[in-house]
């Protein structure tokens, strides 16, 4: 993960849940924040704070754009995370 992504992850992606894990003992794999890397139809390639990537269904929150942060559950985007520029 790049230094820039790590900095964003520390502010935008609270907690330690990840896409490439079978389940989190804290959140039971619910509400994992991811950043959109690419969009193809109703799916988006997304990356979590640890660099794991997965295809996420985005029909429920469409339209989505590259760079946007979504909250996912079970491979489906269920909401957006509003980001603020610090400074």
Cβ atoms of residues 28 and 12 within 8 Å:
no
pTM, two decimals, is 0.66
Q: What pLDDT is recorded for position 49?
A: 87
Q: Selecting from 1.10.287.3510, 3.30.70.120, 1.10.3470.10, 2.30.30.140, what CATH number does the domain 3-81 have?
A: 2.30.30.140
Per-residue confidence of the chain (87 residues) as pLDDT tens digits? 445 544 445 555 555 566 655 555 555 556 789 999 999 999 999 999 889 999 999 999 999 999 999 998 888 999 998 767 766
Nearest to 42 by CA among 25, 27, 31, 55: 55
22 phi/psi in degrees, rounded to 5? -70, -20
| E-only strand ranges, the chain | 30-40, 43-47, 53-57, 69-73, 76-81
Residue 49 tokens read as 């704070």
Residue linked to tokens 């390639």: 45
């Amino acid at each position: 993960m790049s230094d820039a992504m790590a900095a964003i992850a520390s502010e935008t992606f609270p907690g330690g849940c990840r896409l490439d894990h079978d389940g989190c003992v804290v959140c039971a794999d619910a509400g994992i924040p991811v950043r959109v890397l690419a969009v193809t139809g109703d799916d988006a390639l997304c990356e979590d704070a640890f660099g794991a990537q997965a295809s996420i269904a985005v029909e429920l929150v469409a339209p989505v754009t590259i760079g946007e942060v979504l909250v996912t559950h079970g491979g489906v985007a269920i909401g957006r995370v509003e980001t603020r520029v610090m400074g």
